Structure 1
């Protein structure tokens, strides 16, 4: 049976693969890595536009996620968080 779904529809089935990848990243020194972080990284960096894929392709993408891509995801999010924090601080200073 050849079932293709949008990537986001596979989330319920791929929990163990996400957990395994998060564990691997923690062993590599990314101590805060979680399954949800891995999922969000893949959504933003690998699966732009929610493409249709087979289950084995989605699992393959998870296990092939490189530490470089994950680090890039963390760096961009850290910069966005810093920008948001600076904006909030600037708004609250005027009070």
Structure 2
């Protein structure tokens, strides 16, 4: 009998696959790739939500993650981080102006 679980429930079982994919991404130039980044990318770009899957399906998704999808994930997060940094800088600047 094949077990079906929400993808989040498979995370500990697929750590070796996540690490393997992160190592592959590092080899092709994404030097800061981590298994946590791979996991977050899959959740955001591939699984979108919390689908239920079998173990082999989750592992297959990890190994089929393309560098294009990973790059898209990194780009979107970089833009979000820049927006957050700009918002923090604006708030900090406003507080400094008010305190003078």
Per the normalisation by structure 2, the TM-score is 0.94
Equivalent residues in 2 for 1:75-90 (5 A)? 75-90=75-90
1:4 aligns with 2:4: yes
- The CA distance in 1 between the partners of 2:42 and 2:8, in whole Å, is 10
Q: Tell me the residue number matched to 1:29.
A: 29
Equivalent residues in 2 for 1:15-54 (5 A)? 15-54=15-54
Q: Tell me the residue number matched to 1:63.
A: 63
Aligned length: 95
- Structure 1 runs of 4+ aligned residues shifted over 6 Å read none
Q: Which runs of 5+ in 1 are unaligned?
A: none
Task: Report which of the two structures shows the higher radius of gyration computed on alpha carbons.
Answer: 2
- The CA distance in 1 between the partners of 2:41 and 2:49, in whole Å, is 13
- The CA distance in 2 between the partners of 1:88 and 1:65, in whole Å, is 33
Per the normalisation by structure 1, the TM-score is 0.98
Deviations 1:5-38 (A, max 9, x none): 0011000100000000000000000000000000
